[in-house]
């Protein structure tokens, strides 16, 4: 092999190595970029502002699980303990998006802190995005937020009354924005 061949080969290898290093450092090893669309459900004042209705409920029974087009849904009958916003019937069916957790009757969600799976016998604060909250037969409400009621009934009422009274300063309608997040 000629000297020109060695030099050319070394240059190609050096450029490839530098490009790989730049790509790894530039992208941040172990991170991903994805779009976030919709309201920030990590802020209770946004949840309150963007929801049709909010209440403290007790899950009574899971009445139906169904899969449709690659998505899974769980419908739970709940008893209203305290209405915080909007109107709620005494008992109503609430549907939420879930994932099958591998065992019959076990489900999970992407964000169990802000979107907990409703389990019978436990109390939750739920926020309804759409549907009927009257409790009439054959009607369902879509819960897009469900959090365990860990503050107790009085504590949840006081907390959410403050959140409802303090709408977010910026628009609760957020557009899509790219965010970098650690992989994992």
Contacts of 148 (CB under 8 A, 6+ apart): 116, 122, 123, 124, 125
pLDDT in tens, 120-154: 999 999 999 999 999 888 888 999 999 999 999 99
Q: How far apart are CA 71 and CA 160, in angstroms?
A: 30
Give residue 89's region: left, alpha or beta (phi > 0; psi -120 to 50).
beta
Q: How far apart are CA 133 and CA 142, in angstroms?
A: 9
Decide if 178 is inside a domain.
no
- Domain extent, residue 29, equals 3-35
Same domain, residue pair 117 and 62: yes
Q: How far apart are CA 58 and CA 76, in angstroms?
A: 10
The model carries a pTM of 0.70
Same domain, residue pair 31 and 49: no
pLDDT in tens, 6-42: 434 434 444 444 444 434 444 444 544 444 555 667 7
Same domain, residue pair 100 and 140: yes
CATH of the domain at 80: 2.40.50.120
pLDDT confidence tier of residue 184, bands split at 50, 70 and 90 = very low
Say if residues 128 and 141 touch (Cβ distance below 8 Å): yes
- Residue 155 pLDDT > 80, yes or no? yes
The torsion angle over the Cα atoms of residues 88, 90, 96 and 100, rounded to 10 degrees, is 170
> In the numeric block, which tokens belong to residue 98?
């879930």
Same domain, residue pair 20 and 60: no
pLDDT in tens, 77-90: 999 999 999 999 99
Lowest mean pLDDT among 39-53, 94-108, 162-176: 162-176
């Amino acid at each position: 092999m000629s000297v020109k061949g060695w030099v050319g080969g070394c240059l190609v290898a050096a450029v490839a190595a530098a490009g790989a290093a730049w790509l790894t450092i530039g992208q941040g090893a172990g991170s991903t970029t994805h779009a976030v669309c919709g309201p920030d459900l990590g802020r209770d004042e946004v949840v309150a502002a963007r929801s049709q209705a909010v209440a403290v409920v007790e899950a009574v029974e899971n009445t139906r699980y169904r899969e449709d087009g690659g998505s899974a849904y769980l419908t739970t009958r709940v008893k209203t303990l305290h209405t915080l916003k909007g109107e709620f019937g005494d008992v109503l069916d609430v549907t939420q998006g879930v994932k099958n957790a591998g065992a019959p009757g076990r489900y999970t969600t992407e964000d169990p802190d802000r979107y907990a799976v409703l389990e019978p016998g436990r109390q939750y604060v739920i926020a309804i995005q759409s549907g009927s909250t009257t409790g009439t037969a054959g009607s369902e409400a879509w819960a897009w937020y469900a959090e365990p009621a860990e503050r107790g009934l009085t504590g949840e009422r006081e907390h959410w009354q403050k959140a409802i009274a303090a709408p977010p300063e910026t628009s609760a309608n957020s557009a899509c924005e790219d965010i970098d997040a650690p992989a994992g």
